[in-house]
Every structure is written in structure tokens, then in C-alpha cells.
Amino acid sequence: MAGWGGLLEPLRYEFMLRGMAAAVLVGVVCAVIGCYVVLRSMAFMGDALAHAILPGVAVAYLLRGDLLVGALVAAVLVALGIGAISRGGLIKEDTAIGIFFAAALALGVFLMSTARTFAVDLTHILFGDVLGVSVSDLWLMAGLGALVLAAIAVLYKPFLLISFDTVLAATLRWPVELLRAAMLVLLALTIVVSLQTVGVGLVAAMLVTPAATAQLLTRRLPTMMLIAALIGAFSGLAGLYLSYYLNVASGAAIVLVATLLFALAYLFAPQRGILWRRASQA
Amino acid sequence: MSFEDGASAHLALEHVTVRYHRRAAPALEDVTVEIAGGAHVAVVGPNGAGKSTLFKALVGLLPVAEGRLRVHGAPPGANKACAAYVPQREDVDWNFPVTVFDVVMMGRYGRLGWLKPAGRADREVVWRSLEQVGMASLARRAIGELSGGQQQRVFLARALAQQPHLLIMDEPFTGVDAGTQQAILDLLDELKQAGVTALISTHDLRLAASRFERVMLLNRRLIAYGAPDKVFTPVRLADAFGGQVLMLPDGAWVVDQCCPPPAHRVLEEA
């Protein structure tokens, strides 16, 4: 890894270029919607949605269909299902999530275990296979990612209001439940986009970690989204370089870079970091 | 029916009953009262008397189970910009990454809708509202960095930015400094000049009696509504506050608990 040449060397491989594009894309989209995941305390929901797409992927795999389409259908169904069950008030939301989460994971493994190449495929789905991203995958990911970002930009006011002050949203007669469902569907789309890069096992980290880091560094939502997106993109790139040179799993490397950045912000963030608080107390 | 800016909201309640759930006991029962446009009303009563319930029904957050409730002659929520509701401070997530300016701008959302971006006129209204509550210099602060009184003023400024006909404030004087209390009272005087109807719940009976021309005494049912000296009689206070009122030979003393002690709350939840 000699100087700048070390940064350029992996770029000679086309699969690395595609992988980098995918990693940056996932880093940005996850981080932006992740701001709402963090602010609305939906981390558990994000993790559950990620696991819930397994059966969809499994069915698509067994039918030799498109895995992304299978994941998409499953994720949207589960997002709406959790919303519908918890809205009845009979079961609390986190209980509903817990039930869906485990059941979907079990169903996914159940279906996958009927296939012969079970172990390899399951590993790819659980932990990602960013270097195996094809050009058509990349286009689909870019399209869905752009859709998610555009929706978040257009629905900025309603999403901000249902997250910060549901009561005002309700007095204005804005459809709070519908907006909540729309946010869950966007979250499901984001998870599908991330499937190949970090896998269902680690996507929750990409949703939560960059956003949580950004929250330590700013006091406004638009800046928080921007900083989170930069952190997500940087984690994606740096993680891929790490995986290239150390020959380690790329999804794990990406998440660990994001976690390291969080630790740095937690310690050193101006005003809110641990060290800053210590210093101002002394 | 038209709702011109500056019009006073006239409230009419006929046998209004409100429940939190369909089969729950009513939190507010059979309330009939008429409040003239432009009146400023202090709403008093013990905990659980239905003050917040009444407010939520007035802005359409809770459905009216029985009876009829009309604001400006229309059902609550028919005109979205008409009523502004200032929530209790503990209902707000103070760690949320928004500035004072951002929060007050939310007061314009009702007029802007989902898509339209804020224009210069909206920003002017926001700045004017911030100046009215003396918070313009702190506009760029994160809301989490404010004191309790300042936080209360921010939400008051947001209500002003809504340019409402009806202002509803839930316990605005609880836990604020004397300066903020005075600022809120001064602002209420200004709003009275502008003809805005206001309903304010408070535990401070002396404040209710001295600064409001109308008081509403609630204890799930309406005990009395009218001028303070007609409403605050020993018999009616005993009706509203029950065991919390202490009668003395020279008059009535009311001992009102603001909040149930924590241990009590835990027991209720267990």
C-alpha cells in the first residue's frame, strides 16, 4: 500500500469500480433515511425489516427470479404488516416487530435450506457480496436510491413534523398514519438497495451508525443528513479499500469504518463529545 | 362560512362527552358551555379533570363521543389554520436537531402545505413572532440548549406564527421563571387587543382569578363558567377539588397538587 499509487491500484479492476459505486450509493441512501431511523427510535424496525426480506429473496431464488424484486416485495409487505398490526393497539409495536422479525428469518432459512448451495448463498445474503454487483444491479440500486432520496426531499416538511411533533401534524390534519407507512416503505426500499453491499445482517448498522455520528456534530436536520451521507460514503469507500488490501469481508469492513468514525465523534465531538465535556467540567 | 384573519373564534359546546377509547369511562362528560369570540379563559381543575382532554377535542385531536362541538360554527379542525395548540413541555423531544427558528417556522406549515417552500412573507412572520416573545436573538440556537422558560416561549412563538383565531395553551406557567410568566401574560394582553380567543389551563388559581376575565372550573364535568368572583366560591371549589380543598372560617383554601408523586405513578402503572 504505497502512497497514492495504493489508492489507484484497485481502480484498475472493473468489479472494484462497480463495488465502490454500490458502496457509496448505499452509504449515502442509508445514512440519509437513517437520520429518521435514529430520531424516531426505529433501529429495531430497520433490523427487523432487513431480516424480513429473507423469505422474499429465498422465494425469488428458488423460482430463479430476480432476487432484488423478491426482496422488494417482501420488505414492503412486512413494513405495511407491522404497521397494520401495531395500529390496532392490541399488540405493541416492538412486540409486533419481534414476531415478524423472527418468523421471517425462520421462513427465509426454512426456504433456503431446501436449496443445495444453501450455505454460500445464505452468506451472501446475510453479509453482502459487493464485488459481485452487476451493471444491471447497479442501475436498479441507483434508480431505487434516487427515488428514496427524492421522496425524502419532497416530503421534508411532513416527515419532520411527524417525527418531531405528531400533535401539530394531527391538528393540521396531515395523514400521520399514511406518512408513517410511506416512511416504512422508503426504509424497505433502502434495505433492498443495501442488500448486496452489506447484507441483511449489517444493514441496520449503516442505517444507524452514520446518522448517530452526525447527530453528535450538528443541531439541524438538513446538516445532519448531509454529514451522515458523507460519513456513509466515506465508510463505503474506505471499507472497500480495507477489504481489498487486507482480504477481508467488505460489508464488515464498511460497517467497522463507520463504527470507528462514530467512536471518534463520541469522544471528540465539539460540545457533545466525552472529552469536551470532561474538559469543560475541569 | 369564511374565516378572515383576525376574526375571533366563538366556541359552542353542547353536551360534549369525550373518551380516550370507545369503551373507556369519559374523560370529559356532558359539558355545555358557550365561549364568546375574543374571550380569554383560564381553565382550572384538579389533575385528571379533563383540561387537556377538552383542549385536544377543541383542536380535533380527540373525537367527540357524544354531543356537539363547534368552533366558528364548524366542527373542530374544519379550518386547519384556525386553532393553535401549545403542548405541555414534557410532550416535546428536546434532543431533536432543530433550531428555535425551525420550530417557529413549523407554525407556517399549515398555510404552506406539504410542498410549498417558505417564502419571504413566512420568514417575516417567524421573525415577528420571535420578537414578540423576546427570542429573536436566540433564533439559531438548538432547542435543547434553552432554559424551560425559553422553551415555553419558542412554542408560544410558533403558535403566534400560525396566526390563529383560537389559542390553546396547556399549563404554560408550570415550571417557568417569573420573566417568562410575565412575557406570556403581556402577550395574552396583546392577543386580546387583536381579538384572539384564548384558553389556558393553569394550577395557579390566584393568577386565574386576577388575570382572566373568565374562568372555567372543571372536574370531568363542568362545575362552573363565568367571572372569577362568581366561579371561585367555597362550594364550587369543593365540588371541583374535593379532598384537596381545605375550608377555613375566613374562607376557602385550596391545596392543589400539580403532579402526582412519582411513587404514586409507579403504583398506577404496575
Residue A267 contacts by C-beta under 8 Å, 6 or more apart in sequence? A273, A274, A275
- Which chain B residues contact residue A158 at CB under 8 A? 114
Average pLDDT over residues B231-249: 77
With contact defined as beta carbons under 8 Å apart, do A193 and A145 qualify? Answer: yes
Of B120, B137, B163, at which residue does a domain stop?
B163
Establish if A155 touches chain B: CB-CB under 8 angstroms.
Answer: yes
Q: Is the pLDDT score of A100 beyond 90?
A: no
Indicate whether B193 belongs to any domain.
yes
CB B213 within 8 A of CB B185: no
Query: Predicted confidence band at B215 (pLDDT cuts at 50, 70, 90)?
Result: very high
Residue A163 contacts B where some CB pair is shorter than 8 Å = yes
Classify residue B182: in a domain, yes or no: yes
In a domain, B96, yes or no: yes
> What nine digits make up the cell of B245?
380543598
Give the gap in angstroms from C-alpha A219 to the nearest C-alpha of chain B: 5
User: Pseudo-torsion of CA B94, B100, B101, B105, nearest 10°?
Assistant: 50
Give pLDDT tens digits for A127-142: 788 888 888 889 988 9
Name the strand (E) or helix (H) holding B43.
strand B40-44
Q: What is the pLDDT of residue A219?
A: 86
Inter-chain residue contact B96 with A163, CB threshold 8 Å: yes
Q: What is the CATH number of the domain that holds B263?
A: 3.40.50.300
pLDDT exceeding 90 applies to what percent of chain B?
33
Among B107, B129, B163, identify where a domain stops. Answer: B163
The answer to whether position B29 is within a domain reads yes
> Does A171 contact B83 at a Cβ distance shorter than 8 Å?
yes
How high is the pLDDT of residue A55? 85
Residues B158 and B62 in one domain: no
Among candidates B87, B98, B115 on the partner chain, residue whose Cβ is nearest the Cβ of A221: B98
Which runs of consecutive H residues, i.e. helices, occur in A155-220?
A: 156-164, 166-171, 176-215
- pLDDT digits over A134-166, tens only? 888 899 889 999 999 999 999 999 999 999 988
Q: Are both B13 and B62 inside the same structural domain? A: yes
How far from each other are the two terminal CA atoms of chain B, in whole angstroms?
Answer: 50
Domain tally, chain B: 2
Optimal mutation site among A90, A154, A168, interface B, most CBs of chain B within 10 A = A168
pLDDT tens profile A71-84: 888 888 887 777 77
Q: B263 and B138, same structural domain?
A: no
Predicted local confidence at residue A240, as pLDDT: 92
| A157 near B CB under 8 A | yes
Same domain, B67 and B179: yes
pLDDT digits 0-9 by tens, A29-55: 999 999 999 998 888 888 888 888 888
pLDDT digits (tens, 9 = 90+) for B164-206: 889 999 988 887 888 888 888 988 998 898 889 999 999 888 8
- Quick one: pLDDT at residue A255? 92
Cell numbers representing residue B251 in the block:
374562607
A153 in reach of chain B (CB within 8 A)? no
Residues in chain A within 8 Å Cβ distance of B78:
none
Write down the ipTM of this complex: 0.83
CB-CB neighbors (< 8 A) of B112 in chain A: 157
Q: Are residues B76 and B184 in the same domain?
A: yes
Among the partner residues B59, B96, B99, nearest to A171 by beta-carbon distance: B59
C-alpha to C-alpha distance for B130 and B157, rounded to whole angstroms? 6
Distance CA A200, CA A125 (A): 6
Q: Which residue of chain A is at minimal alpha-carbon distance from B79?
A: A172
Tell whether B177 and B147 lie within a shared domain.
no
CB proximity B59 to A under 8 Å: yes
CA distance readout (Å), B108 to B111, B118, B187: 6, 8, 19
Whether B156 and B183 share a structural domain:
no
Q: Is the pLDDT of residue B5 over 70?
A: no
CB contact under 8 A, A171 and B87: no
Mean pLDDT for the stretch of residues B140-153: 89
The Cα of B52 is separated from the nearest Cα of chain A by a number of Å equal to 13
**Per-residue pLDDT band at B104 (split at 50, 70, 90):** very high
B1 pLDDT tier (thresholds 50, 70, 90): very low
The model's pTM is 0.84
- The Cβ of residue A248 has, within 10 Å, a number of other Cβ atoms equal to 13
Give all strands of the β-sheet with B28-35 in edge-to-edge order. B28-35, B11-18, B66-71
B178 and B202 inside one domain: yes
pLDDT score of B2? 38
Closest chain B residue to A154 measured between Cα atoms?
B115
The domain boundary, picked from B163, B183, B198, lies at B163
What b/e string do you get for B32-62 counting C-beta neighbours within 10 Å, with b at 16 or more? ebebeebbbbbbbbbeebbbbbbbbbbbbbb
Task: Please state, in angstroms and rounded to a whole number, the distance separating the CA atoms of residues B13 and B239.
Answer: 21
* pLDDT(B249) > 70: no
Q: Does the residue B233 lie in any domain? A: yes
> What percentage of chain B carries pLDDT values higher than 70?
86
Average pLDDT, chain B: 84
B150: containing domain:
92-163
B207 at A interface, C-beta within 8 A: no
Beta carbons of A171 and B60 less than 8 Å apart: yes
> Nearest residue on chain B to A211, judged by CA atoms?
B97
Mean pLDDT of B151-163: 91
Asked whether A190 and B151 are in contact (CB, 8 A), the reply is: no
* Selected residue of A40, A157, A272 to mutate for chain B interface (largest B Cβ count, 10 A): A157
Q: How confident is the model at residue B258 (pLDDT cuts 50, 70, 90)?
A: low
In a domain, B87, yes or no: no
Q: Does B145 lie in the same domain as B104? A: yes
Q: How far is B60 from chain A (nearest CA, A)?
A: 6
- Confidence class for position A266, pLDDT limits 50, 70, 90: very high
> Is residue A205's pLDDT more than 70?
yes
Please judge whether A154 and B112 are an interchain contact, meaning their C-beta atoms are less than 8 angstroms apart.
no
* Whether B31 and B107 share a structural domain: no
Check whether residue B125 and residue B241 sit in a common domain.
no
Classify residue B157: in a domain, yes or no: yes
Higher pLDDT, A122 or B62: B62
What pLDDT does A25 receive?
A: 94
Residues of chain B with Cβ-Cβ distance to A219 below 8 Å are 97-99, 141-142, 144-145
pLDDT of residue A238: 95
Reported as a pLDDT band with limits 50, 70 and 90, residue B253 is low
> Which residue from A minimizes the CA distance to B92?
A165
Query: What are the chain A neighbours of B106 within 8 Å (beta carbons)?
Result: 160-161, 164-165, 168
Question: What percentage of chain A reaches a pLDDT higher than 70?
Answer: 95
Confidence grade of residue B264 (pLDDT, cut at 50, 70, 90):
very low
Q: Could A165 and B92 be called an inter-chain contact, meaning their C-beta atoms sit closer than 8 Å?
A: yes
DSSP-derived secondary structure for B113-162: TTTPPP-HHHHHHHHHHHHHTT-GGGTTSBGGGS-HHHHHHHHHHHHHHT
Same domain? For B157 and B269 the reply is no
Q: Within a domain: residue B226? A: yes
**Closest residue by Cα to residue A160 from B219, B106, B104:** B106
How much is the average pLDDT of A92-108? 82
| Residue B80 predicted with pLDDT over 90 | no
